[in-house]
Structure 1
Amino acid sequence: MTDVLVTIAPLTAMILVGFAAGFLPRFSAAESGLNVFVLHFALPAFLFSAVAGASLDRGLPLPFLLIALLVPTAVSAAVLLIARAVPNLRRRRLAGPLALTGGYGNVGYLGVPIGISLLGAEAALAVGVGQLLHNLVFMIGYPLLAEAGAGAQGESVMARVRRTVVSALLLNPVALSIFAGLAVAAVPWSLPGPVDEAVELLAGAAVPVALFAVGLALHHALVGLRSGAVPLGALTVATAVKMLLLPSLTWGAAVLTGLDRESTLVLVLLAVMPTSTTAYLLAHAYDGHGPFGAATIFVTTVLSVGLIPLAFVLAA
């Protein structure tokens, strides 16, 4: 437990630095630019470098891929169905945001650096592919669900499906970086020296800048929590599902399928990540519940400081 805390402490410190900096207007105003830099340059470079240097000899077990896809999907679907049966939640259009925030973890900005820091570079392939599958469940599934009865005038269901899949998979820089890394790892050659050095420079910025940006984002989350517009009952449910139920079911599925230790730890770490900042954007854009998403991000991020190392130790 001590070793895990020592490893995570500097990462937590970067979040706290970002949160403290957010009290100054000059840094708060820079949040959007930092997120664009991380999403389009630093994080893709980090994932490309990690996956390109990984060994593909072992590959990834099929149960790993299925659990990464199906457990978050099943948990969110169950929450959605139950929440839709509650009149108050259905009337306030909270069923979708509740299912989203209870399942969608911050696997990119937090899961990737924490997973590789705790498990080493040899886990890069599992971490990269695991976070990609986790993201795709929600980046494709939630917009499709939200647009099922809406969509552009005259646009068919299949057209909306194609548009959403292309946006989340084929135009997503994080997804593309993983595909590119897999391609490089599969062939017996490497990038030219200057190109490789440039990628490494960008990759080196990913972890500190991403964590700093998470700290800045917590200010919006805190405002949402203080607004009084967030139903505490729904917030408690989303937090319990995200930080307790999802990791527990993920661990159980890994044990039942006989997954190896490293694969199990990757899945559990990704599952116990706090609610993704993208969940706030989706909840705001499709359901008008940005404050609820932001409040869930704040509470789960605070709890994750203790629950991430605890989950790692218990799953190990």
Structure 2
Amino acid sequence: MFGFFLVMPLVIIIALGNILRRRGFYSDGDVAALSKTLYWVILPMLLFRTTYISGTEVLSQPNLLIAVNICYVATLAAAWLGAARFAHQGDMRRVAVSVLSDFRSNNIYLGFPVIQLAMGEAGLHLASVYIAVSMAFYQIYSIGGGEVAVTGRITAANLAGIARKLLTNPMLVSCVAGIGAALLSVPVHFVFDETMKLVSGAATAVALLALGGTLDIPEAHRVIEIMRRTWFDILIKLILNPLIMWGALTAFGISGDLARVTVMLSSMPCAVNCFIIAKGMGMDGDYAADLVAATTLLGIISIPAWAYALGIV
């Protein structure tokens, strides 16, 4: 029962953000400003601070790195083969959405708030370790795999585009900066640490409001139709992907709270930016939007279920 109550505050804030946008209190520009502030200011400070506190712990997790990569590759392969030969046969634009989205979790907007509510600062610390270890490969596999699926080839331009996205990603840059500062023993003055702590404290509320304002939640009569269209990718994202992650972590001796946090983040719905990336890369953007909405709605059930299965609640 606590798992249900764990997710309900998140659902209420997401719904509030969606209602405020629908009623005109938030314009599209306001939602964009919330998302931009979160992406470029709040979350980079949170990630820098937590990875700095983690110090060299991130670099002492080779087994986590291996397990995460195995999970990503296995999920990508399952999504690609299943979509191409069965679920989306003949529609490579939709196959590409499966490849892009089926392990691209909503870690930042939804995962961090869930972990913080369930496990507090200790959970956020472990979540930041996972993000720091996995961020580069998460981007390379999902964007690179999606690009190959939709175009059918790997080119120098594709690789250059992926590299450019990585080098300008504030999440990745802040993680690298935090680890680097810790390794070099660069002192962070109390004033700056408190500033980052205060700004980071806004992450949960801003992330959930921005998520609600960004989501195009379907009308009730369309929900069943969308679920029927996206069922294959729902199963991959919400069930198979976290199961593969759990198995890979177990195989490489990762256990305890780090394993719980990692699997919990893997079980999150599809990242909101999946449909933005899909549209920009010539994939089926409408299908990607439906998939984001469907997995987010089903997260009301899957998030408490995974929290219970992992012993977080």
CA 22–80 in structure 1, closer or farther in 2 if over 3 Å, else same: same
What is the CA deviation profile of residues 16-75 of structure 1, one whole-angstrom value per residue up to 9, with x for unaligned ones?
221221212241422111111111011111112222223545865322222222213321
Q: Which residue number corresponds to residue 162 of structure 1?
A: 160
Q: Distance in 1 between matches of 2:255 and 2:197?
A: 30
Q: Residue 305 of structure 2: which of 272, 285, 310 is its match? A: 310
Q: Distance in 2 between matches of 1:267 and 1:75?
A: 15
Count of equivalent residues:
308
Q: Unpaired segments of 5 or more residues in structure 1?
A: none
Amino acid at match of 1:298: A
8 A Cα contact 2:13 2:205, kept in partner:
yes
8 A Cα contact 2:99 2:149, kept in partner:
no
Q: Which residue number corresponds to residue 201 of structure 2?
A: 204
Q: Which residue number corresponds to residue 12 of structure 1?
A: 11
CA 87–167 in structure 1, closer or farther in 2 if over 3 Å, else same: closer
Q: Secondary structure at the match of 1:276?
A: coil
Q: Which residue number corresponds to residue 62 of structure 1?
A: 62
> Where do 1:119-198 residues align within 5 Å?
119-132=119-132, 134-148=134-148, 157-168=155-166, 170-188=167-185, 190-198=187-195
CA 240–94 in structure 1, closer or farther in 2 if over 3 Å, else same: same
Q: Residue 218 of structure 2: which of 202, 211, 222 is its match? A: 222
Q: Distance in 2 between matches of 1:86 and 1:150?
A: 17
Q: Which residue number corresponds to residue 22 of structure 1?
A: 21
Identity %: 22
Q: Distance in 2 between matches of 1:57 and 1:232?
A: 41
Q: Residue 287 of structure 1: which of 258, 264, 282 is its match? A: 282
Q: Distance in 2 between matches of 1:57 and 1:36?
A: 30
Q: Which residue number corresponds to residue 42 of structure 1?
A: 42
Q: Distance in 2 between matches of 1:185 and 1:6?
A: 37
Q: Residue 272 of structure 1: which of 267, 271, 296 is its match? A: 267
Q: Which residue number corresponds to residue 94 of structure 1?
A: 94
Q: Which residue number corresponds to residue 239 of structure 1?
A: 234
Q: Distance in 2 between matches of 1:159 and 1:279?
A: 21
TM-score by length of 1: 0.84
Q: Distance in 2 between matches of 1:190 and 1:7?
A: 37
What is the CA deviation profile of residues 217-253 of structure 1, one whole-angstrom value per residue up to 9, with x for unaligned ones?
22x2527x9499x875540111111111111222222
Q: Secondary structure at the match of 1:164?
A: helix
Confirm or deny that 1:110 pairs with 2:106.
no
Q: Distance in 2 between matches of 1:248 and 1:226?
A: 29
Q: Unpaired segments of 5 or more residues in structure 2?
A: none
Q: Distance in 2 between matches of 1:150 and 1:273?
A: 25
8 A Cα contact 1:143 1:286, kept in partner:
no
Q: Distance in 2 between matches of 1:136 and 1:221?
A: 30
8 A Cα contact 1:104 1:276, kept in partner:
yes
**CA apart distance, 1:12:** 3.1
TM-score by length of 2: 0.85
Worse-superposed segment, 66-75 or 172-181: 66-75
